[in-house]
Amino acid sequence: MKYRMAIAAALFPVVAWAWPWSTDMMDQPSIKPQEGEMTPFPKRSIPVGTERIDDSGMLMTEVANREEAKPLTSPLPLTPANLAKGKALFRIYCGACHGLTGKADSPVSPKIGAIPLVDDYVQKTLTEGWIWGTITFGSYIMPAYGDPKARDDGRGANDLSIEERWLVVNYVRHQLAKDAAAEPTKTAAAQ
Ligand code: HEC
Residue 75 belongs to a domain: yes
Residue 9 belongs to a domain: no
Residue 84 belongs to a domain: yes
Residue 63 maps to which CATH number?
1.10.760.10
For residue 168, the ligand 1 atom closest to its alpha carbon is 35
For residue 108, the ligand 1 atom closest to its alpha carbon is 2
- In this structure, the number of other CB atoms found within 10 A of the CB of residue 158 comes to 14
Residue 151 belongs to a domain: yes
Q: What is the pLDDT of residue 6?
A: 66
Q: Is 162 in the pocket of ligand 1 (CB under 6 A)?
A: no
pLDDT tens, the chain, 191 aa long = 567 766 665 666 555 556 666 677 677 787 777 777 767 766 655 444 444 544 544 455 567 788 988 988 888 999 999 999 999 999 999 999 999 999 999 999 999 999 999 999 999 999 999 999 999 888 998 988 886 555 565 555 568 888 899 999 999 999 999 999 998 766 544 44
Q: What is the pLDDT of residue 191?
A: 41
Q: Is 3 in the pocket of ligand 1 (CB under 6 A)?
A: no
Residue 168 belongs to a domain: yes
Q: What is the pLDDT of residue 179?
A: 95
**Cα 33 to ligand 1 centroid, rounded to whole Å:** 42
DSSP character string of the chain? -HHHHHHHHHH-GGGGT--TT--GGGSSSSPPTTSSPPPPPPTT---TT--EE-TTS-EE---SSHHHHTT----S---HHHHHHHHHHHHHHTHHHH-TTSSS-STTHHHHTPPPSSSHIIIIIS-HHHHHHHHHH--SSSPPS--GGGSTTS--TT---HHHHHHHHHHHHHTHHHHHHTS---GGGG-
Q: What is the pLDDT of residue 57?
A: 47
Q: Is 172 in the pocket of ligand 1 (CB under 6 A)?
A: yes
- Residue 52: HSE in the Cβ half-sphere, 13 Å Cα cutoff: 11
For residue 90, the ligand 1 atom closest to its alpha carbon is 37
Q: What is the pLDDT of residue 184?
A: 74
- In this structure, the number of other CB atoms found within 10 A of the CB of residue 100 comes to 18
- Domain containing 62 equals 52-190
Are the CB atoms for 53 and 61 separated by under 8 Å? Answer: no
Number of domains composing the chain: 1
Residue 69 belongs to a domain: yes
Residues 164, 170, 171, CA angle at the centre, nearest 5°?
90
Residue 105 belongs to a domain: yes
